[in-house]
Structure 1
């Protein structure tokens, strides 16, 4: 059992007469939206108890449409909110028990996940013009953020919904008087924190053990959440000191 394993949520039983599909069909349905999803990733999520596909007498996995929706929810939540499996597990348990209270962002106080919504997220292969349009930013501003390293296109030249969020956040900070130079300082600090997390996750990813990449990815999410929480606490303490409180 993985060290990351928690108590399994009680996934609802499949509806009577539900059609099933192989893991290969599941991959084909998910890869347009999640090109990096693999058989190993799905097996890892199963080993962690987040999904429970049916098994044939020969031991082959068979998935229903509900299983695919559940997988999509997990993958969207991991990708768009970078949440660790422990938090996603709590969301799934709420969904399975009929509770649909949205998870609330610590930083903004706004819902960042709606458990009752399992529809696919927006496209993630975006041009710089798409990013500017979705973030309601000037193209020149997006270009400046690219040059500053705040957002970076993939090898094919595309961006993701995360980049749109970064641009939106950068615009909000700029409204308070921060400029590209200040944003580059924030980026440098984030890069150092990422390198710190990488010192822990790197050896796990390179261990060669079964499921190592998925375990390293999940460990990275857990560490990122802890680092972000500590960073917020330290900033609050520093601000209180500056304000003489």
Structure 2
């Protein structure tokens, strides 16, 4: 008699939760769910889709548009879930660790080498292709700021590149103060939701806070873009 995954009915014969067989074929998202539930009974299809949207896994697509996960995809997802569960790492850090590994991946269970994605001021200037005066202006308006070590993290570098690109359209730091203020307000809203989760006694709940925050950030960004487009249509008549 076939095994039944926890929380659901038996998986189709082609997608049974068999690690050995998973190495030899491409799995649908339902098949991946069945495999992962052996170790992570709480995982859901929505969770797998979310991890995909965050760039943690990139399954190939069939001609019909269906996801097809290979053995490497399944193992990568398992490692992501393990790092969240056992080490409470945020997805951003997990992605940086996995992306920093050799193409063939690290041995199973091996810890990724520490990786510091921060850059110094000179590197940030090169990344954004701007001069010291422009960077100083961004810092004056609170768009970019170094940490206590005088270094800039990955988010600061991303902001610098975006601000520089906006600058090519004539938008200067003073024009972007409203965006920064809106971002600060959005951060406050996200904190209202995830703050209690981060302070929870359960390690699993605290880990869940990070994925919840990432999802709220994504939704806020999409809402902002949609509202801007809507406003442009209205103003354009």
> Same fold per TM (> 0.5)?
yes
**C-alpha separation in 2, matches of 1:47 and 1:167:** 41
Partner of 2:190: 197
Larger radius of gyration: 2
TM-score (norm. length: structure 2): 0.56
Instruction: Give RMSD over aligned pairs.
Output: 3.7
Q: Which has the higher contact order (CA 8 A, sep 6+)?
A: 1
- Residue 91 of structure 1 and its aligned partner are, at CA, apart by 3.2
Unaligned runs of 5+ in 2: 1-16, 24-38, 61-67, 74-97, 102-114
**C-alpha separation in 1, matches of 2:18 and 2:158:** 32
How many residue pairs are counted as aligned between the two chains? 159
**C-alpha separation in 1, matches of 2:213 and 2:191:** 8
1:204-219 aligned within 5 A: 204-219=197-212
Partner of 2:57: 91
1:12–1:96 Cα contact (<8 Å) kept:
no
Q: Name which of 100, 119, 122 aligns with 1:120.
A: 100
**C-alpha separation in 2, matches of 1:48 and 1:179:** 47
Q: Name which of 221, 231, 237 aligns with 2:230.
A: 237
Unaligned runs of 5+ in 1: 1-9, 16-44, 51-82, 101-117
2:138–2:144 Cα contact (<8 Å) kept:
yes
Q: Deviations over 1:84-124 (max 9, x none)?
A: 53624883544733899xxxxxxxxxxxxxxxxx6429952
2:52–2:58 Cα contact (<8 Å) kept:
no
**C-alpha separation in 2, matches of 1:237 and 1:173:** 20
User: Helix, strand or coil: the match of 2:190?
Assistant: helix
Q: Name which of 163, 166, 172 aligns with 1:173.
A: 166
1:8-19 aligned within 5 A: none
Whether 1:135 and 2:149 are equivalent positions in the alignment is no
1:64-75 aligned within 5 A: none
- Residue 186 of structure 1 and its aligned partner are, at CA, apart by 0.8
User: Helix, strand or coil: the match of 2:177?
Assistant: helix
**C-alpha separation in 1, matches of 2:165 and 2:19:** 41
**C-alpha separation in 1, matches of 2:19 and 2:158:** 33
1:128–1:142 Cα contact (<8 Å) kept:
no
